Amino acid sequence: MITNMINRITKTQEKVEFSGGILVKENNDNSVELSYGYANRSEQIENSIDTRFGIASGCKLFTSIAICQLVEAGKLSFESKLEDCLDVHFLNFDKDITIHHLLTHTSGIPDYFDEEMMDDFEELWVKNPMYLIRNLEDFLPLFQNEPMKFKVGERFHYNNAGYILLGLIVEKASQLKFSEYVEEHIFKKADMSDAGYFEFDSLPRYTAFGYIDLPNGKWKTNIYSLPVKGGSDGGAFVTVNDMGNLWDSLLDNQLLNEEHTNKLLTPYVRTNNKNGFYGYGVWIEKKEDEIFKFHIMGYDPGVSFHSAFYPKTSIKIVICSNKSNGAFDIMREIEEEIQNNYKLVK
């Protein structure tokens, strides 16, 4: 399987010019470790297995783990009301919104970036300069006084603003800055030694720039396309091995006890895909009424990310790219090879 998988990855990489890192783990052993492209195109510094990549919304999983830890510690409840958790006035928000609604994208609150209304994430920063967005509260003016999108609990609608609020709840309940909480209670516990919420104007060594390829063949970095520092809805940097370690620690109940790990991985709500569900910060796909995979993903200008765990095989995949696309194409090839080898689909 490994030889065929690498051959498929290589062909796809050449076709889509994938740039980034790839990790496949089977039975907690690294079966495939590959890297392509440049972390710094100007200086021709190549990506490696140790390169840190932005993962955009992939780190909503970190936020959900943090909330579950605080629930496990008795500081919060999944049924805690938003208005009881934060000293922030929301002009039009429903009084019945709970942490569970925020975790599962069923709160109905307005989003600061609504994918049904906007195509380009960069549009946000025309009136709200991205270099001013360094703390979670800096996002609040973008959505806190807008009307509800739909009734609380009515349906699933992917929502970044909800995860900003969850990050603020983590800060209030823990009395730590969100990034400090995650670094202390998740990254350290999961041996994610290279992960962090880094600011674009002070990136550490071995961190890849995100690249946006333009129609005329030129390119630019994404430093003026995203908030200067990521937060609870996205924007952390990790290596592929950091994410592999995160899956190991989560599934071995090292970050949460068994009860709360199971709560995080429960399929609570149907998404917009036929076989798709959402847990707490994690996408879940079923095939023939069985869970086929748990997965997370992230897309930003200059970032594409996919990672998954397949419970029937214990295989974990991490694909980090410092381009706006490419991770999905690699993921599809690896997944098809896994399905063919293990006959996961009848």
Look at residue 1 in the predicted model and tell me its pLDDT.
81
What residue spans of the chain are helical by DSSP H?
2-16, 60-72, 82-85, 99-103, 160-174, 178-182, 240-251, 258-264, 327-342
| Residue in this structure with the two tokens 């200008």, named with its chain if needed | 301
Q: What is the distance between the alpha carbons of residues 222 and 145, in angstroms, rounded to a whole number?
A: 29
Residue 66 has pLDDT above 90, yes or no: yes
* C-alpha span between 84 and 72 (Å, rounded): 18
Average pLDDT, the chain: 92
Residue 130: the pLDDT is 58
Task: Report whether pLDDT(68) > 50.
Answer: yes
Q: What angle do CA 109, 299, 266 make, to 5 degrees?
A: 60
What's the mean pLDDT in 72-80? 98
pLDDT at residue 119 greater than cutoff 60: no
Which residues does 206 contact at the CB level (< 8 Å), separation at least 6?
A: 39, 48, 50, 51, 52, 194
Tokens matching residue 261: 């790990």
Q: What percent of the chain has pLDDT over 70?
A: 93
pLDDT single digits (tens) 141-200? 889 999 999 999 999 999 999 999 999 999 999 999 999 999 999 999 999 999 999 999
Of 92-96, 118-122, 298-302, the least confident: 118-122
User: Which of 33-42, 121-130, 144-153, 261-270 is the least confident region?
Assistant: 121-130
- Segment 313-319 shows an average pLDDT of 95
CATH code assigned at 61: 3.40.710.10
How sure is the predictor about 120, in pLDDT bands with cuts at 50, 70 and 90? low
**pLDDT reported for residue 125:** 52
DSSP-derived letter for residue 93 is -
Show the domain range for 37: 2-342
- In percent, the amount of the chain with pLDDT more than 90 equals 83
- Split at pLDDT 50, 70, 90, the class of 274 is confident
Q: What is the pLDDT of residue 289?
A: 87
Total domains in the chain come to 1
Q: Is the pLDDT of residue 114 over 90?
A: no
Is the torsion defined by CA of 51, 52, 57, 60 positive or negative? Answer: positive
